[in-house]
A and B are shown apart, each in its own frame.
Chain A
């Protein structure tokens, strides 16, 4: 069992940060493209489906409360099978991490460090990720608190500054949706936003000081997050109009370009956009820590030297793949940036559910035996 302890508040903040991992370059452009001005409807349905997913999440979380997800796998399956399942899970998470960080780096390189070679931007982002891997989940919990405080302040500044430009008529027509487009955006939103937060299952329930409050904290965090996403989408559409929001890859960045406070605070989009840089970097760090914890559980790497080895074992291939993918933004821009993370996240979700269901069956058999 891991020795660190965190509070339910810190846990829910980590959960909330993870919900932001794919919003910038994946979720916002996709749901605005699919749902257009009916985005609020997609968001509402996604919220309800998300509650169902959180219910499943809490079930898995409460199952074998002294164990993290990899230890749960080991407890349920035979040793050889548990190693295979854990490795598959880690590989899936590996690619989710690659996509999060790849999207962040391509965003930075295409929007504000245009002349800096991609490799340096990649290294710039990789440095804090590597540094975060040296620590444990209690430290990253504190990082989550910092990220969310800064994100909240910047979000409030952006919303208040842009509020004067809100044009409610841009939200019309209110109901221009069809079942096909709405259902697509609901599915993508529910899985791509929520499943990365499932990776918090790496923290065993018993490591949370006030574990009985987790369900409530997670639900509050989730509701606040959906509210924030709705607020951001509202600002994007009402300020830019759906037609402009639709043509840009990063509408949440473009809307900040129109920011003008008292006619003299302008061109502050590169500061305001730090919200996403922080939250996506945090998500990447957490995913890498997830894999590090997986390797540690899988191969009993308790010594410090072997831990460094495990960090490098994950980090170097990760960095290699991200740097390799950087020049290929244009090829992945259209829909693969949605379909690939969707498939990965559905697979991860499916694995978690299967592990839980098999775990219950195995437990019942053990009791009968």
Chain B
């Protein structure tokens, strides 16, 4: 009896192997783009060519990009199977391009599709490409990574932490902001530099000075109609400072006719107390001198104080510009409304009124940001 039970048990335990797929049968999706053309959804998928890349190295393209079209996103994806024999495996997807054509009311359908799919992880990045056909970005190869999708996702992450003018947002964060009160998600914009056909060509990888690559551009938020609100470099810095996304960001300020750059070591800025309509922006930035082109002696304590004050002014201006843009466009991508919803729940009725049109413009901000310079590199003062 026990043996019989054991045999039945073992047979049943093998149900995990039901309908199993060999690795060669899978089309491993590394990136994807959703757009709309003529009221139909267009899906572009970047697949990694495991066998080809593994056997022969770079000479054959490490990726393939396939496209499908349909009335729904699901139709568009399944239509790719008319051209491709593989079963899609999307758990390891690195990023998704949300085109501006689906940033209007179609975005709800996109979110529904992505959240409903049980195989997708929540950790892939969301990007957009306002000036480029998303397919071109997917098709571009990288000189730095055999897998161009990894290159783009690392590019976005690095430029956020080390430069500060971009930001990385995962699908989880995007969805949370999309669903939350008083905030609109901001996504990084990527663009293709150079010629489309050359960027897709393997020969490009053989050149040491290629002019064809994918670059992280500015940040973008979309309003309800799907219109792109482009954040310039200053506004992008302001957004990242306000959201504490900057790790070792570089802040350049003018000192007379010259410039100096500080590198942030620690930055913590956020909203504080609300008094009437006045909301305080409090924070502290610790930094080191990264580049010094000014005339004053850096050994002098007063010079350091002055540099701190100038940097403080620069950072405050970044944030001010960001908030002014949000007010001007009536789209709260900064998250003031969300902060008030969470912390000053009685201030605004988010259920009955529209924060972007009725609340955002009434808020005034009071900036209290402190900058401390802690290091100055190898040199004692300046040369």
Does A140 belong to the interface (CB within 8 Å)? no
Given contacts A172-B343, A241-B176, contact A247 B115 (CB under 8 A): yes
**CB-CB contacts of B333-365 with A at 8 A, as 1s and 0s?**
000000001110100000000000000000000
Whether B209 sits at the interface, judged by CB under 8 Å, is no
Q: When the two chains form their complex, are residues B118 and A111 in contact, meaning their CB atoms are under 8 A apart?
A: yes
In the complex the two chains form, what is the Cα distance from A244 to B176 in whole Å? 6
Q: In whole Å, how far is A278's beta carbon from the nearest beta carbon of chain B?
A: 15
A residues less than 8 Å from B16 (CB atoms): 113, 116
Complex Cα spacing A260 to B172, Å: 13
- Knowing A124-B15, A260-B123 touch, does A247 contact B342 (C-beta < 8 A)? no
CA distance A258 to B341 in the complex (A): 25
Answer whether residue A121 sits at the interface, using C-beta atoms and an 8 A cutoff: yes
Instruction: Check A154 for interface membership: any CB of B closer than 8 A.
Output: no
A244 touches B175 (CB 8 A): yes
Which secondary structure dominates where chain A touches chain B? Answer: helix
A115 within 8 A of B: yes
Closest CB in chain B relative to A275 CB, distance in Å? 18
A154-212 contacts to B, CB under 8 A, are: 169-170, 172-173, 176
Is A244 in contact with B172, judged by CB distance below 8 angstroms?
yes
Across the two chains, which residue of chain A brings its CB closest to B87?
A115
Closest residue on chain B to residue A259 by CB atoms: B123
> Closest B-chain residue to A120, C-beta based?
B15
Q: A244: which B residues are within 8 A, CB to CB?
A: 172, 175-176, 179
**In the bound complex, do residue A120 and residue B123 qualify as a contact, i.e. CB atoms below 8 Å apart?**
no
The answer to whether the Cβ of A91 comes within 8 Å of any Cβ in the partner chain is no
**Contact, CB under 8 Å: B12 / A127:** yes
Chain B interface mostly helix, strand, loop or mixed? helix
State how many angstroms separate the Cβ of B165 from the closest Cβ of chain A: 23
Contact indicator B18/A113 (Cβ below 8 Å): yes
Residues of chain B with a CB closer than 8 A to A257's CB: 121-123
Q: Size class of B's contact patch? A: 20 to 34
A170 / chain B contacts, CB cutoff of 8 Å: 176
Are B115 and A115 in contact, with the CB atoms below 8 A? no
Nearest residue (CB) in B for A171 is B342
Is residue B9 contacting chain A, with contact meaning CB distance below 8 A?
A: yes
The answer on a CB contact under 8 Å between A173 and B345 is yes
Q: Is B51 an interface residue (CB 8 A)?
A: no
Candidates B5, B13, B180, B345; contact of A241 at CB < 8 Å: B180
Contact, CB under 8 Å: A267 / B180: no
Residues of A within 8 A of B179 (CB): 241, 243-244, 247
Chain B residues in 8 Å Cβ range of A254? 122
User: Whole-angstrom distance between the alpha carbons of A112 and B342 in the complex?
Assistant: 35
* Contact assessment for A169 and B180 in the assembled complex, using a CB-CB cutoff below 8 Å: no
**B168 CB to nearest chain A CB (Å):** 13
Contact A267:B342 (CB < 8 A) given known A115-B18, A127-B8, A244-B175: no
Shortest C-beta distance, B206 to chain A (Å), equals 31
Bound form: Cα–Cα A188–B115 in Å: 27
Q: Which residue of B lies closest to A37 (CB)?
A: B342
In this complex, the interface size class of chain A, counting residues with CB under 8 Å from chain B, is: 20 to 34
**Given the complex, which residues of A lie within 8 Å of B233, measured CB to CB?**
none
Given contacts A124-B12, A243-B176, A247-B179, contact A258 B18 (CB under 8 A): no
Contacts of A117 in B (CB 8 A): 18
Residues of A within 8 A of B341 (CB): 173
Whether the pair A258, B123 counts as a contact (CB closer than 8 A) is yes
Q: Does B258 contact A (CB under 8 A)?
A: no
Q: Which residues of B contact A115 (CB under 8 A)?
A: 18-19
**How far does the alpha carbon of A121 sit from the alpha carbon of B12 in the complex, in Å?**
8
The smallest C-beta distance from A246 to any residue of chain B, in angstroms, reads 8
Find chain A residues with CB under 8 A from B115 CB: 247-248
- Judge whether B121 and A266 touch: CB under 8 Å: yes
- The reply on B253 being an interface residue by CB < 8 A is no
Residue from the list B13, B19, B176 in contact with A240, Cβ < 8 A: B176
Which B residues are in CB contact (< 8 Å) with A248? 115
Bound state CA distance, A124 and B15, in angstroms?
7
Q: Which residue of B lies closest to A167 (CB)?
A: B176
Interchain CB contact (< 8 A) of B15 among A114, A121, A260: A121
Per the bound structure, the CA–CA distance linking A257 and B180 in Å amounts to 20
User: Is B91 located at the chain interface by the 8 A CB criterion?
Assistant: yes
What CA separation (Å) do A258 and B123 show in the bound complex? 6
Cα A169 to Cα B340 in complex, Å, equals 11
B339 nearest in chain A by CB position: A169
| A74 vs B246: C-alpha distance when bound (angstroms) | 71
A173 touches B91 (CB 8 A): no
Query: B342 near A172 (CB under 8 angstroms)?
Result: yes
Q: Is residue A228 contacting chain B, with contact meaning CB distance below 8 A? A: no
CB under 8 Å from chain A, chain B span 357-381: none
Q: In the complex, A238→B170 CA distance in Å?
A: 16
Given A116-B18, A127-B12, A247-B179, decide whether A258 and B342 contact each other with a Cβ distance below 8 A. Answer: no
Nearest to A134 among chain B residues (CB) is B5
Residue of B13, B18, B19, B343 touching A173 (CB-CB under 8 A) = B343
- List CB contacts (< 8 Å) of A237-265 with chain B: 240-241, 243-244, 247-248, 254, 257-258, 260
**Contact string, B1-24, partner A, CB cutoff 8 A, digits 1/0?**
000010011001101101100000
Contact of A266 among B8, B15, B118, B123 (CB under 8 A): B123
Contact B13 A124 (CB under 8 A): yes
Q: Which residue of chain A is the closest to B345 with respect to CB atoms?
A: A173
Which residues between 161 and 201 of chain B lie within 8 Å of chain A, taking CB atoms?
170, 172, 175-176, 179-180
A45 at the B interface (CB under 8 A): no
Task: Find the B residue at minimum CB distance from A269.
Answer: B121
A244→B18 CA distance, assembly (Å): 32
> A122-145 interface mask toward B, CB cutoff 8 Å, 1 = contact, 0 = none?
011001101100000000000000
Q: Is the CB of B172 within 8 A of A240?
A: yes
Closest to B178 in A: A243
Closest chain B residue, CB of each to CB of A110: B118
Q: Point out the residues of chain A lying under 8 angstroms from B15, CB to CB.
A: 113, 116, 120-121, 123-124
B375 to chain A, nearest CB (A): 27
Chain B residues with Cβ under 8 A from A116's Cβ? Answer: 15-16, 18-19
Contact indicator B12/A120 (Cβ below 8 Å): yes
Q: Which of A253-310 contact B (CB under 8 A)?
A: 254, 257-258, 260, 266-267
List the A residue with the shortest CB-CB distance to B181.
A243
A110-B118, A116-B15 given; name 13 further pairs at CB < 8 Å: A113-B15, A115-B18, A116-B18, A124-B15, A127-B5, A128-B9, A169-B342, A241-B179, A244-B175, A244-B179, A258-B123, A258-B170, A267-B121
- 7 pairs across A/B with beta carbons < 8 Å? A113-B15, A113-B16, A120-B18, A173-B342, A240-B172, A260-B123, A267-B92
Closest 5 CB pairs of A and B: A172-B342, A243-B179, A120-B15, A241-B176, A116-B18
